[in-house]
Amino acid sequence: MMSASIKIEQPTESDLDVIHAALAETYWAPGIPRATVSRAFRNSIAALARDDSGKLIGFARLVTDKATFAWLCDVFVLPEHQGKGIARELVRAFQAHPELQGLRRWLLGTKDAHGVYATLGFKPLDAPERLMHIMNTNPYGVPVKL
């Protein structure tokens, strides 16, 4: 059962220290510079999870135009708090946000958390051949492990 407070809010500088440390160790952003994390969150909507003492224990980022499209990314819960439903609640906070109602498409990429997102309405693409991308597999000097 979840034991966290979830809010849509911009991270503080100390939150960004925690976020950067976590993201720099992920499979999707190894070695990411702190300045890049700061810029990414500054230009996105953030959902933050805090424990009872106010300590940051999870976060998620949404890139969106608030009209038609949202890309869910950087969903992360600190290891000691995983398995409590916090990631789902971070995503639900975005889904419930008044400025994000009526979007035509929500997308995300995941290597291993399909079950988490399926419970929130995400499913595999109906026509993946319609989407294309450019992928830099070594953007921060450490190869991304796809």
24 within a domain of the structure (yes/no):
yes
Domain presence at residue 142: no
| Range(s) of the domain holding residue 9 | 5-130
Number of domains in the chain: 1
Per-residue confidence in pLDDT tens, the chain, 146 aa: 567 899 999 999 999 999 999 999 999 999 999 999 999 999 999 999 999 999 999 999 999 999 999 999 999 999 999 999 999 999 999 999 999 999 999 999 999 999 999 999 999 999 999 999 998 888 898 888 77
Angle of helix 13-23 relative to helix 34-42, nearest 10 degrees, comes to 120
Whether 52 maps to a domain, the answer reads yes
**In this structure, is residue 136 part of a structural domain?**
no
Q: Is residue 141 part of a domain?
A: no
Measuring CA to CA, how many Å separate 12 from each of 15, 46, 94, 119, 123?
A: 5, 11, 19, 30, 33
Asked if residue 10 belongs to a domain, the reply is yes
The whole model's pTM is what?
Answer: 0.93
